[in-house]
Amino acid sequence: MKTSAFFAVLFASTTLAFGDVHGATLTSEPFGQTQDGKPVTLYTMKNSHGVSVSFMSWGGVVTKIETPDRHGKPADIVLGFPTLHDYETKSVDGGLYFGALVGRYANRIAKGQFTLDGQTYHLDINNPPNSLHGGNDGYNKRIWNVERLQNSGSIVSAVLKLSSPDGDQGYPGALDIAVTYSLGEDNSFRIDYSATTNKDTVLNLTNHSYFNLAGPGSPHGVLDQVMWVDADQYTPTDRTSIPFAENASVAGTPFDFRTPKAISRDLKVDNEQLLFAQGYDHNWVLNKHHGPDALEKATTLYDPASGRTLECDTTEPGVQIYTSNFVKGNYAGNGGIYRQTEGVTFETQHFPDSPNHPNFPTTELKPGQTFKSSTIFRFGVRRG
């Protein structure tokens, strides 16, 4: 359908029931029970261009994203597992957070400790010697309350809600969190995060999907995929992935993706940062041309073989790009055995260990304020 005709149809009717929005639908089905007997639901949003996003109430985990290649052939472009049991046993206990909604603090906090308003807080050391992704009982293991939203126009959405009590995971303040997942007819999967607190606290929320635009079983994982990152600086870290005092220029380093290049190109370069992390597992400091909170294009990924493209826009100041370095052939997922460099994450977020780095953009939230953050993953194809 031509664009003009498409929009004419789109605006002709605003009274369609949810799920009938010009081919865009949201369906749900049971996805089994957790090991402790709680029922979990799987939701699938689909648009009329063959793009679908599936997620579950357990951990807000994105289990599958299907998009067409340049010939219209669909494939699942995120790493995932067929069953809830796989997620509970492989994804979480293995510490790899496949598709997860991560919090209260995505990324690491040094030695599991930070001080706020003169009080020191102690967190789980689940990634010794640091705390990672909210500790042992991350938001990625909680059952989120999912509500369908009544949309008008060309978008389907669901809001995922979680109440995180004061002291949860060792953090101060009761948080009320709402995360909206939307799929548009423009082939965008949008995530809008919001949260309020009743006490001063810190937070950092993200999505931990591993993308592989080639789909399951691609022979080289993401190595041949071409990445662009709008960042002049990145955040070097020590051996335990905790940032040093200052960010560093990407110029002349393997971290320079300001001109698109294959992920493999500099991956094996002799570089201490790549050695420490066994690949890319770093925060890129986004350039933010239109202000610190602007929703701007941060990264792109292109798979020359399938033609699939991914654009990631975010309001966040940074993105942790992780080339699945610790996925080492020990995970059998939807796409067969997952190996190192099988997927790449774009964890849009504030910088690692910000509560201990006053020079980094703040992650503090106070009563009366509303935390807001948005990220868009936009899918497409390049024909030539």
Interatomic CA distance for residues 159 and 191, integer angstroms: 10
Per CB under 6 A, the list member of 310, 347, 363, 371 interacting with ligand BGC is 347
Task: CB nearer to ligand BGC: give 168 or 347.
Answer: 347
Q: Exposure of 268 by Cβ count < 10 A (0-12 exposed, 13-18 middle, 19+ buried)?
A: exposed
What is the size of the binding site for ligand BGC (CB under 6 A)? 10
Spatial separation of the C-alpha atoms in residues 58 and 176, rounded to whole Å? 17
Which segments within 107-154 are labelled E, that is strand? Answer: 108-109, 113-116, 119-122, 131-132, 145-149
Rounded least distance, CB 43 to ligand BGC, Å: 24
Q: What angle do CA 281, 286, 290 make, to 5 degrees?
A: 165
Asked if residue 313 binds ligand BGC (CB under 6 A), the reply is no
* 276 contacts ligand BGC (rule: CB under 6 A): no
* Options 159-167, 190-198, 297-305, 320-328: segment touching ligand BGC (CB under 6 A): 320-328
Rule CB under 6 A: say whether 342 interacts with ligand BGC: no
DSSP-assigned states of every residue in 265-276: TTTTS--HHHHH
Show contacts with ligand BGC in window 56-95 (CB under 6 A): 95
Catalytic residue among 282, 347, 350, 357: 347
- Tokens 């020359």 found at: 304
Sequence letter at residue 282? H
Binding track, positions 321-340, relative to ligand BGC; x by CB under 6 A: -x---x--------------
Nearer to ligand BGC, 95 or 304 (CB): 95
Of these, 31, 87, 97, 234, which contacts ligand BGC (CB under 6 A)?
A: 97
360 near ligand BGC (CB under 6 A): no
Find the shortest distance in angstroms from Cβ 351 to ligand BGC.
12
Residue 234 CB, shortest distance to ligand BGC, in Å, is 13
Q: Which of 185, 281, 303, 313 binds ligand BGC (CB under 6 A)?
A: 281
Structure tokens at 53: 């996003």
Would you give the binding string for ligand BGC spanning residues 230-259, x where CB under 6 A is met? -----------x------------------
DSSP code for 130:
B
Q: Which residues lie closer than 8 Å to 29 by C-beta, 6 or more apart?
A: 41, 42, 44
HSE-CB at 33 with a 13 A cutoff on CA atoms is: 5
Per-residue binding string, ligand BGC, 159-198, x by CB under 6 A, is ----------------------------------------
All residues at 6 or more sequence positions from 377 whose CB lies less than 8 Å from its CB, including other chains: 65, 188, 189, 190, 191, 209, 310, 311, 312, 346
Q: Respond yes or no: is residue 246 known to be catalytic.
A: no
Of the candidates 66, 185, 208, 342, the residue annotated as catalytic is: 208
11 CA to centre of own chain: 32
Q: Find residue 226's DSSP bridge partners.
A: 262, 302
201 touches ligand BGC (CB under 6 A): no
Applying CB under 6 A, the residues found at the interface with ligand BGC are 95-97, 107, 241, 281, 320, 322, 326, 347
Q: Mind telling me the catalytic residues?
A: 208, 347
